[in-house]
Structure 1
């Protein structure tokens, strides 16, 4: 990784301490140290500020690190997708399972609590959907490949593209049936 060397080189040429540089680009001194020791990369905003402050182009600043940065960005995207997907899954299950007990035992307050959980689930559903659209992944196979950090070849992409409408329909029907079954079981248990 060259970017750590580049940051240190330009910082020392301009006679900035790590603390002074950190103040100029609005990060902590520890962050500058981590960059210079190649523990992590600056984000895009920080790179632009560094480029402007050092009066060098981004090309010169990042040199050969472009591919590594792409990989790190992709890894960060995968981690965010996994985290938001897990949160959505938990909230979705909680939404399905909690509706009947909350309304039965807490009446209108239970409905308010359930509504908040449902809104949070919708928020994370929208975030997950944005990840899927930004990375052009919709089917199970495309998502699995994305989570593994791999890309499908052209033939596989075309096959998966043809499956998209059917999988969406199957997912809607499956979750609808699951919701109905859970609601019936909850009504049976609680009433």
Structure 2
């Protein structure tokens, strides 16, 4: 039986996650907008119906989204109720502005130069306050983690490359509160607990109790396995058993697995750029500690 020796320090590197499928778009509804603009124009349903040469019941059905105006009537509806075509179809204007943005720009153009400067300063102040608040929230929500170079095999063993670790930003939670890094799982022998391509959080450890999952460096490479009652290692998936090792094979525990990195733990692509700026001191320290050339 192979012995498991105490470990030195662990080294951790980066994550990519699957994207979710786009949702089916909701059907376009005209009713609430037609009703809102009709009332704003101080027109009764009958008045509007007469102007459109349709019955009052037709207008009632439009506003209840039980039916839609014939497309030949759309230009006249928009003209009478001061609705932009793109607004009716919930589309962006040709200038790329949303309805609200278009309306704000139009209102600003009605102001005198002094009032425009006041509005500009007010908006600038609000934007700065919101950006500072978002930066603070991001800094408090995310943390910088290591990833072990290469991957850990849910099989016989994967070669651990001699390269500097990388960092990755992940959302703080109760699972990773004690984590020292993350590692990529390669293979299916630990299913259904860990799947091929999963990233797992781990804390550095040189020993483990029966039933715990560990990252182990072996003569065959790095593996992720569970500790049995007799302190040997085994695979969770019975279809892919972990072969018994001889006493000459060195097994060194590098870390205790804490859980899987969820896709919701990762920041958005836009937030990654902001986090790079917010964590500039931590990144510099990380690079100095691990000999990474910037």
TM-score by length of 1: 0.32
Larger radius of gyration: 2
> Quick one: higher RCO (CA 8 Å, sep 6+), 1 or 2?
2
